[in-house]
Amino acid sequence: MNTIPVRQQRTLNINVLRHNPHDPESTPRMQAFEVEEADAMTLFVALNLIREEQDPSLQFDFVCRAGICGSCGMIINGRPGLACRTLTRDLPDTITLAPLPGFELIADLSVNTGKWMRGMAERLETWVHAEGLEQLDLDVMEAPMEPALAQQLYELERCIECGCCIAACGTAQMREDFAGAVGLNQITRFRLDPRDQRSDADFYQLVGDDSGVFGCMTLLGCEDMCPKDLPLATQIAFLRRRMVAT
Ligand code: SF4
Ligand code: SF4
Ligand code: FES
């Protein structure tokens, strides 16, 4: 009879990069914590235990705990990921955590992805551009959309704006104005939307340079690190082909 091996309970050594740029006394430093691992423990749970039992000043973000809100992105042993979707059993005994690079640091593991995403959305105008929307009659039946197209839009809308693709992207680390995979994904989404009346020439104005599709080095860190497994490489390649043809 096969027996299921009993997993030994581990003591995790969690090293966190601490820094509060708003505190003049603060300098970046690593702080080590020990946490007893529990069954099915996520990194989010481990961080909460640290905050509750060892250091209430530790800052990190979360809202949903279910991989939906995109708040808990951080660098986990050198790779961007979501703390709430990362099981400690998939990590070694020693875990090193740092804030996502490329975003304004709030403190410790908390970064201002919202500010970055808002700036990107305003720059790329990531909303439906259509004439006459202000006179929309809400009593009129909605225009149907082909299910296959609706599914395609839905697929691209699964982005949770977590910032992992920006943290993994060499271009985004070098250029503050780079749209990143998250921005290029949004442009692809609105380009596909039949309600958006912008032409390829209009989209070219937004992403037809080095801050857009032509700044991408196609090394695909974004797709490898996207926790929602979005087909970012395919979208960027498609958009680049369209922009070249414009
Ligand atoms: S594309 Fe993926 S990695 Fe980038 S922000 Fe969206 S969900 Fe996160
Ligand atoms: S493929 Fe392009 S967008 Fe993705 S990580 Fe590389 S440079 Fe950045
Ligand atoms: S807490 Fe919402 S994605 Fe992790």
* pLDDT tens-digit series, residues 146-193: 999 999 999 999 999 999 999 999 999 999 999 999 999 999 999 999
In a domain, 160, yes or no: yes
Contact predicate 180/230, CB 8 Å: no
Q: Are residues 65 and 156 in the same domain?
A: no
Position 8 scores a pLDDT of: 74
* pLDDT tens-digit series, residues 64-109: 999 999 999 999 999 999 999 999 999 999 999 999 999 999 999 9
Q: What is the pTM of this model?
A: 0.92
| CA 160 to ligand 3 centroid distance, Å | 9
Q: What single-letter amino acid sits at 50?
A: I
Q: What is the CATH number of the domain that holds 217?
A: 1.10.1060.10
In a domain, 185, yes or no: yes
Reported as a pLDDT band with limits 50, 70 and 90, residue 2 is: low
| CA 171 to ligand 2 centroid distance, Å | 7
Q: Which atom of ligand 2 is nearest to the CA of 181?
A: 3
Q: What is the CATH number of the domain that holds 53?
A: 3.10.20.30
Q: Which atom of ligand 3 is nearest to the CA of 160?
A: 3
Averaged confidence pLDDT in the chain: 94
Q: How many CB atoms lie within 10 A of CB 3?
A: 5
- The secondary structure of the chain as a DSSP string is ---PPPPPP-EEEEEEEE--TT-TT---EEEEEEEE--TT-BHHHHHHHHHHHT-TT-----SSSSSSS-TTEEEETTEEEEGGG-BGGGS-SEEEEEPPTTS-EEETTEE-HHHHHHHHHHHHT-S---TTGGG--TTSPPPP--HHHHHHHHHHTT----SHHHHT-HHHHH-TT--HHHHHHHHHHHHH-TT----HHHHHHHHSSTTTGGG-----HHHHH-TT---HHHHHHHHHHHHHH-
Which domain range does residue 58 map to? 11-111
In a domain, 50, yes or no: yes
**Average pLDDT, integer, range 236-244:** 91
Rounded to whole angstroms, the Cα distance separating 53 from 47 reads 10
Q: Are residues 17 and 92 in the same domain?
A: yes
In a domain, 165, yes or no: yes
Position 1 scores a pLDDT of: 54
Reported as a pLDDT band with limits 50, 70 and 90, residue 3 is: low
Rounded to whole angstroms, the Cα distance separating 45 from 32 reads 16
Position 108 scores a pLDDT of: 98
Q: Say yes or no to pLDDT of 6 above 70.
A: no
Position 220 scores a pLDDT of: 83
Ligand number with the minimum distance to the CA of 48? 3
Domain count, the chain: 2
Position 162 scores a pLDDT of: 98
In a domain, 5, yes or no: no
Q: Is 185 in the pocket of ligand 1 (CB under 6 A)?
A: yes
In a domain, 140, yes or no: no
Please tell me the total number of residues recorded for the chain in this structure: 246
Residue of the CA atom closest to atom 7 of ligand 1: 159
In a domain, 138, yes or no: no
* pLDDT tens-digit series, residues 117-151: 999 999 999 999 988 777 778 888 888 899 999 99
Q: Say yes or no to pLDDT of 246 above 90.
A: no
Q: Are residues 179 and 238 in the same domain?
A: yes
Q: Which atom of ligand 3 is nearest to the CA of 61?
A: 1
Position 11 scores a pLDDT of: 97
